[in-house]
A and B are shown apart, each in its own frame.
Chain A
Amino acid sequence: MYKNNIIEIKNLDKYYGKLHVLKNISFCVKKQEVVVIIGASGSGKSTLLRCINFLEFAQKGTISIDEKIIKTKATDLHKVRQEVGMVFQHFNLFPHFTALGNIIEGPVQVKKISKTKAILRAEQLLEQIGLVNKRDNYPSALSGGEKQRVAIARALAMDPKIMLFDEPTSSLDPELVGEVLSVMKDLAKKGMTMIVVTHEMGFAREVADRVIYMDEGRIVEEGDPEKIYQSPENERTKAFLSQIL
């Protein structure tokens, strides 16, 4: 086990019935590193991300977070998940709470922080994502980009050590993608450890320390973004990139 590896994944195998969706996946993420995972749909990249947050369980292999191997049966997974924030493709905001209500829900219910303190922190976060004026709006009154920014703030309110992004901009109208990416870039600059599943090439090139290309449940190629995008070694990576570029 190396120091500074906040996530270590070893020999992960996952099946849905007979379908082998993750095949012997191993990789590490260092503190403050930004890793972008790319790959065609069905390549297993979202499943991998969901395994790291234990929304899905792998049948074989180990996942360590903060140098502790997480045993899915023996551990209180809700405690592990407090340290790992997640942002979903479809936002999954709580529709019965306002923007502010969504952000304070975790701290108040899970961390048992007083409501006053949680609101103060939430207001900081709303400022950080540029949505102070939408504080009391319900999700139904927010645009897609605003929803996703609130969802990011909701995850950040738990002060997680790692943030996972599962195609955070894929269900947004093109003109709304920028505002979400800029919040994410901001976050990366502040030193957040991030794993991002995305097709946003510009984001990967500008922010990612490393890009991982997955195909049919395997990590096919990984390296720094320039190398992957400019001169991929693997034929499949080449084919995939030529399709999305």
Chain B
Amino acid sequence: MIDLPWNFAAIPQYFLRFFPAALMTLQITALGIFVGLGLGFVAGMMRLSTYKLISLPSHFYIWVIRGTPLLLQLFIIYYGLAVIVSIPRLPAAVIALGIHNGAYIAEIFRGAVQSIERGQREAALSLGMTSWQSMKRIILPQAFRRAIPPLGNQFIIALKDSSLASTIAVRELLLRTRQVGSSQFMMMEMLIIAAVYYLMLTSVLTLITNRIEKNLSKSDRRN
């Protein structure tokens, strides 16, 4: 046996101590996704508009957010804005994660809407539907379905990105890991615990999106 410098036997006894931090990670992620979905839907719809006045702001938003690091965005909101408003840690993390994900989700929605065959809109219009009716009844329901797999992917990225909140001292998984790890002189052991928690959370997220995808595709099955 090679003698490893780590004490893996200590992992089980520390494992449950991370539970509150894991819940915090989940909370930041869930709220961030929620904000991101709202922003993303609005920005995605705006980008599809033929009116420049509507589509350009959305273009700008996506360009800026996708072109700069999330960590920088988080710092701008938490430290940069502090002169004007001091936003508490958790809301700052949620807002940053929401705004960041909104840009990617906007692109997911836009892509999904554009992937619906032109004939669908034409068929809807030929029945006498207005543009808005055809969007609401025909295009969006199909687009949402197509957006599920890339959205699931984005949610997993958001969950992992929530670890950046540790830099502004939100007590989530990674911060907890570093605190316990350094105080107990067991950094590797605690990092492994964090990895297991992240894996469990992302796996659950994957399972949920797979289930939703399956449920929504019932009309594709041949009955």
Q: Do A and B come from one complex?
A: yes
What A residues does B145 contact at CB under 8 A? 96
Given contacts A55-B122, A78-B125, A155-B127, contact A92 B223 (CB under 8 A): no
Given contacts A105-B137, A138-B219, A140-B220, contact A92 B120 (CB under 8 A): yes
B123 touches A96 (CB 8 A): no
What B residues does A136 contact at CB under 8 A? 223
What B residues does A151 contact at CB under 8 A? 123
B117 touches A96 (CB 8 A): no
Which residues 49-98 of A sit at the B interface, judged by CB distance below 8 A? Answer: 53, 55, 77-79, 81-82, 84-86, 88, 90, 92-98
- With contacts defined as CB atoms under 8 Å apart, how many contacts are there between chain A and chain B in the complex? 79
A92 touches B222 (CB 8 A): no
Whether a CB of chain A sits under 8 angstroms from the CB of B186 is: no
Whether a CB of chain B sits under 8 angstroms from the CB of A194 is: no
What A residues does B130 contact at CB under 8 A? 78
What A residues does B141 contact at CB under 8 A? 96
Question: Nearest CB to that of B122 among chain A residues?
Answer: A55
Size category of the B interface is 20 to 34
Question: Nearest CB to that of B218 among chain A residues?
Answer: A138
Residue of A81, A96, A136 with most partner-chain B CB within 10 A: A96
Whether a CB of chain A sits under 8 angstroms from the CB of B12 is: no
Q: Which residue of B123, B128, B129 is within 8 Å of A93 (Cβ)?
A: B123
Shortest Cβ gap from A149 to chain B (Å) = 15
Whether a CB of chain A sits under 8 angstroms from the CB of B142 is: yes
Compute how far the CA of A221 lies from the CA of B144 in the bound complex, rounded to whole angstroms: 48
Whether a CB of chain B sits under 8 angstroms from the CB of A154 is: yes
Compute how far the CA of A139 lies from the CA of B142 in the bound complex, rounded to whole angstroms: 14
A79 touches B222 (CB 8 A): no
A137 touches B223 (CB 8 A): yes
Residue of A77, A85, A95, A97 with most partner-chain B CB within 10 A: A95
Whether a CB of chain B sits under 8 angstroms from the CB of A232 is: no
Compute how far the CA of A79 lies from the CA of B129 in the bound complex, rounded to whole angstroms: 8
B128 touches A158 (CB 8 A): yes
Compute how far the CA of A139 lies from the CA of B138 in the bound complex, rounded to whole angstroms: 14
Given contacts A55-B122, A138-B219, A141-B222, contact A95 B142 (CB under 8 A): yes
A94 touches B123 (CB 8 A): yes
Residue of A88, A97, A105 with most partner-chain B CB within 10 A: A105
What B residues does A97 contact at CB under 8 A? 219
B223 touches A154 (CB 8 A): no
Besides A105-B127, A106-B127, 19 other A-B contacts (C-beta < 8 A): A55-B122, A78-B130, A82-B127, A84-B126, A93-B123, A94-B120, A94-B123, A94-B124, A94-B138, A96-B141, A96-B142, A109-B127, A109-B133, A138-B220, A138-B221, A140-B219, A140-B222, A154-B127, A155-B126
Query: What residues make up the interface of B, taking CB atoms closer than 8 Å to A?
Result: 117, 119-120, 122-130, 133, 137-138, 141-142, 145, 219-223
Question: Top 5 closest A-B pairs, CB basis?
Answer: A82-B128, A106-B127, A92-B123, A92-B119, A86-B126
